[in-house]
Structure 1
Amino acid sequence: MSEGVNYKVWTMCMIQDGDSILLLDRQHDSFKGFIPPGGKVEFPESFVEAAIREVKQETGLTVSNLIYKGLYEYVNPAKNDRYMIFNYLTRDFTGTLLDDSPEGKPLWVPIAEAHNLPMQTSIKRRFPYFFEEGTFEIHVEWDDEFNKEGKVTIRKT
């Protein structure tokens, strides 16, 4: 890893049940919209362990057989920040869904209708890749001067 770079690592796990997915209707702080469960990776846990833990905390469900779908990252060269989000998909889960979660109300949503929901650009951009064969890598350079996304590179394998 490069010296002086601030690495921040998260996971996200899309849970699929037939033609539906589980999303959280998040309506607090500056990150509003429908999101899959996920969160920060705590050291020294693995990325998969973090995804399983975050899903349990946010939905009440226990997931297994996670399929790695790809990496989404933001880099801000002006601040030496690199935010990395490891993305997973699963169709295997047990447990009872929480009525409400600190991150938002969990809702089963038809996959075909999910793109109509309000979502952050980063989630909307990677959403279709969860349901395609292969993996993805999305690299976004943040333009600190204009406080917006700059160059976006998408690779699929």
Structure 2
Amino acid sequence: MYDVVNYKIWTVCMIQDGDKVLLLDRQHDHFKGFIPPGGQVDFPESIVEGAIREVREETGLEVENLVYKGLYEYVNPVANDRYMIFNYLTKDFTGELLDNPPEGKLVWAPIEDCLNLPMQQSIRRRFPLFFEEGTFEIQVTWDDANNREGEVRIRRT
């Protein structure tokens, strides 16, 4: 049925401080908007190690006690691609924010205001799930012919 599936593994780490979260105001390339820190996991590092590294590189903060919140994935059956994004939440961090972060301006935003900020649909879809009990799994099947999201399935556990 499928010959070779190309897996790409990414992380997102929501950093919470009281009623605020740290977001990047990313304004370059095709993925603009307010997003939590994160990025691609480098082989052979573990997924949690990748999340910690990405936070350090993008914010200057050291995080620990990451709580797994869920999996967000894109599946493209035409290209045999699967993008897996592991989502974490932490309230435990130390350090100082970078003065000139590489991915965009760092903003402590009130959680209740975040959904009013410009953000990608994939971030908006899972944002509230970080603050609910349990975990989530979101699978998006990519509509290759129309270059857009197709079917979206959301499961909470």
Q: Give the TM-score of the pair, scaled to structure 1.
A: 0.98
Task: Report how far residue 3 of structure 1 moved.
Answer: 4.5
Supply the AA of the counterpart residue of 2:81.
D
Tell me the number of residue pairs that the alignment of Structure 1 and Structure 2 aligns: 156
Q: Runs of 5+ in structure 2 lacking a partner?
A: none
Matching residue of 2:116: 116
Matching residue of 2:48: 48
1:116-135 correspondence runs (5 A): 116-135=116-135
What are the superposed Cα offsets for residues 111-155 of structure 1, whole Å, 9 maximum, x if unpaired?
Answer: 000000000000000000000000000000001111111110000
Task: Report how far residue 100 of structure 1 moved.
Answer: 2.5
Q: Sequence identity of aligned pairs in percent?
A: 74
Task: Report how far residue 98 of structure 1 moved.
Answer: 1.0
Task: Report how far residue 99 of structure 1 moved.
Answer: 2.0
Matching residue of 1:152: 152
Q: Give the TM-score of the pair, scaled to structure 2.
A: 0.98
RMSD over aligned Cα atoms:
0.8
Supply the AA of the counterpart residue of 2:67.
I
Supply the AA of the counterpart residue of 2:34.
F
Secondary structure at 1:8's aligned position in 2? strand
Matching residue of 2:30: 30
What are the superposed Cα offsets for residues 26-75 of structure 1, whole Å, 9 maximum, x if unpaired?
Answer: 00011100000000100111111000000000000000000000000000
What are the superposed Cα offsets for residues 2-40 of structure 1, whole Å, 9 maximum, x if unpaired?
Answer: 750010000000000000000000000111000000001
Supply the AA of the counterpart residue of 1:152.
V
Task: Report how far residue 106 of structure 1 moved.
Answer: 0.8
Supply the AA of the counterpart residue of 1:26.
R
Runs of 4+ in 1 over 6 A off after TM superposition: none
Matching residue of 2:6: 6
Supply the AA of the counterpart residue of 2:75.
V
Distance across 2 between alignment mates of 1:26 and 1:10 = 17
Task: Report how far residue 105 of structure 1 moved.
Answer: 0.8
Distance across 2 between alignment mates of 1:3 and 1:55 = 35
Q: Runs of 5+ in structure 1 lacking a partner?
A: none
Distance across 2 between alignment mates of 1:147 and 1:97 = 36
